[in-house]
């Protein structure tokens, strides 16, 4: 039996980046029950084309086709059934794998070839109305233990906020994420940002501007990290070939699930490119998957996975995702609250 639950969890504050803002977190929880064991997966697109063309609506529609195909034939190739729709596939594949691992009592980190080790967590800060607000957030989250700060930038909100953070926190591990908001004509901005010894420039240029990104990477000291550009194994091959990035942000949802995400990690590792685990961001089921995956050896930078309480008034897992006082996450099994799936559910569908 497979059940889909579309849930909406309210956010503490709207999340703003260079291309929009949202106030509610949508996710579709996939529950797969077989032989008395239930596995859970999470398909976690943002509403309104936030980071990708996939939306909760398109993900739901894709799952309506993918689930019956899997129930007919457990080995069905999801990429043949539906083209694209990676978030939907991440949720379904996650549920199938989770059921298998729960049935055999195997921790996910172990199945992945990782280890039971703490994973450092970093905080991502959106764009604020004033730099003072931004500084207040940096201060608050550094106190909570987060081990690096990532600040979103866009034209008009870049050198000044970064310079003010640096002035106040001279040794803080700090990086920027432009979400593809610049072009190669803005290279001077990144040359100026080079002064602040940042860990990396995440996705400075457009998703497909790989040649320009390679050019930028050659002209700045700070390493360039591919995020939006690292959307598939074939894009990763192009990034490697062009030397367009020296760090890769791996996201489980974007690449269609944990199996493909592990392939991205392995390929990047082989090419000598360190990685870190990004988020879309997700609720507790998918965040936990990311923490387990992040225990693989080539994930060498802090993850974007944050505590549930960072964004959400509640989470669907118990206990919620938490960071310890030192800013680390721990790979643990999660318990999904059936009661919360009902409480926050806006749509439910069952297949048998």
Judge contact between 1 and 337, C-beta under 8 A: no
Judge contact between 108 and 137, C-beta under 8 A: no
Binding Mg ion by CB under 5 A: which of 98, 177, 212, 282? 177
Q: What is the rounded distance in angstroms from the CA atom of residue 71 to the CA atom of residue 263?
A: 26
C-beta closer to Mg ion: residue 26 or 202: 202
Give the binding range for Mg ion (CB under 5 A) out of 1-9, 173-181, 319-327, 334-342: 173-181
Q: How far is the CB of 251 from Mg ion (least distance, A)?
A: 8
Q: Which of 25, 150, 152, 262 is flagged as catalytic? A: 152
Residue 227 engages Mg ion in binding (rule: CB under 5 A): yes
Residue 306 engages Mg ion in binding (rule: CB under 5 A): no
C-beta closer to Mg ion: residue 85 or 202: 202
Q: How far is the CB of 150 from Mg ion (least distance, A)?
A: 8
Q: How far is the CB of 61 from Mg ion (least distance, A)?
A: 26
User: For residue 86, is it left (φ>0), alpha (ψ between -120 and 50) or beta?
Assistant: alpha
Is 110 among the residues known to form the active site? no
Give the binding range for Mg ion (CB under 5 A) out of 25-33, 129-137, 177-185, 324-332: 177-185
C-beta closer to Mg ion: residue 5 or 177: 177
Q: What is the rounded distance in angstroms from the CA atom of residue 3 to the CA atom of residue 67?
A: 9
Q: What is the rounded distance in angstroms from the CA atom of residue 350 to the CA atom of residue 165?
A: 49
Residue 304 engages Mg ion in binding (rule: CB under 5 A): no
Q: What is the rounded distance in angstroms from the CA atom of residue 251 to the CA atom of residue 281?
A: 10
Q: Is 1 exposed, middle or buried (0-12, 13-18, 19+ CB in 10 A)?
A: exposed
C-beta closer to Mg ion: residue 227 or 289: 227
Is 89 among the residues known to form the active site? no
Binding-residue pattern over the window 187 to 216 for Mg ion, x denoting contact by CB under 5 A: ---------------x--------------
Judge contact between 346 and 8, C-beta under 8 A: yes
Q: How far is the CB of 225 from Mg ion (least distance, A)?
A: 8
Query: Tokens standing for 323?
Result: 């960071």
Q: How far is the CB of 179 from Mg ion (least distance, A)?
A: 6
Q: Is 314 exposed, middle or buried (0-12, 13-18, 19+ CB in 10 A)?
A: middle
Q: Which of 89, 150, 251, 262 is flagged as catalytic? A: 251
Q: Radius of gyration of the chain from Cα atoms?
A: 20
Q: What is the rounded distance in angstroms from the CA atom of residue 43 to the CA atom of residue 57?
A: 11
C-beta closer to Mg ion: residue 202 or 282: 202
Q: What is the rounded distance in angstroms from the CA atom of residue 110 to the CA atom of residue 296?
A: 10
In the complex, the residues that contact Mg ion under the rule CB under 5 A are: 177, 202, 227
Which amino acids are annotated catalytic? 152, 251
């Amino acid at each position: 039996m497979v059940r889909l639950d579309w849930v909406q969890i309210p956010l503490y504050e709207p999340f703003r980046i260079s291309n929009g803002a949202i106030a509610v977190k949508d996710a579709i929880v996939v529950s797969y029950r077989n032989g008395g064991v239930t596995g859970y997966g999470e398909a976690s697109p943002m509403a309104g084309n936030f980071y990708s063309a996939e939306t909760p609506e398109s993900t739901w529609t894709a799952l309506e086709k993918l689930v019956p195909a899997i129930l007919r034939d457990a080995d069905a190739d999801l990429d043949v059934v539906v083209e694209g729709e990676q978030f939907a596939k991440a949720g379904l594949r996650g549920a199938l794998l989770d059921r298998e691992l729960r049935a055999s009592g195997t921790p996910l980190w172990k199945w992945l070839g990782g280890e039971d080790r703490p994973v450092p967590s970093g905080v991502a800060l959106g764009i604020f109305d004033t730099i003072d607000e931004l500084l207040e957030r940096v201060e608050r989250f550094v106190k909570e233990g987060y081990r690096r700060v990532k600040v979103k930038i866009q034209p008009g909100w870049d050198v000044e906020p970064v310079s003010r953070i640096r002035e106040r926190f001279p040794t803080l591990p700090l990086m920027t994420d432009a979400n593809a908001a610049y072009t190669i004509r803005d290279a001077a901005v990144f040359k100026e940002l080079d002064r602040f010894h940042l860990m990396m420039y995440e996705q400075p240029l457009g998703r497909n501007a790989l040649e320009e990104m390679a050019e930028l990477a050659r002209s700045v000291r700070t390493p360039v990290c591919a995020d939006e550009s690292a959307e598939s194994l074939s894009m990763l091959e192009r990034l490697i070939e062009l030397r367009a990035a020296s760090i890769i942000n791996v996201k489980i949802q974007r690449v269609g699930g944990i199996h493909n995400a592990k392939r991205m990690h392995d390929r990047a590792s082989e090419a000598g490119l360190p990685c870190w685990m990004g988020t879309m961001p997700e609720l507790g089921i998918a965040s936990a998957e990311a923490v387990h995956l992040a225990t693989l050896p080539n994930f060498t930078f802090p993850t974007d996975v944050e505590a549930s309480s960072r964004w959400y008034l509640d989470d669907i897992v118990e206990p919620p995702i938490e960071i310890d006082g030192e800013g680390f996450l721990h790979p643990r099994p999660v318990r999904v609250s059936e009661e919360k799936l009902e409480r926050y559910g806006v749509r439910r569908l069952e297949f048998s």
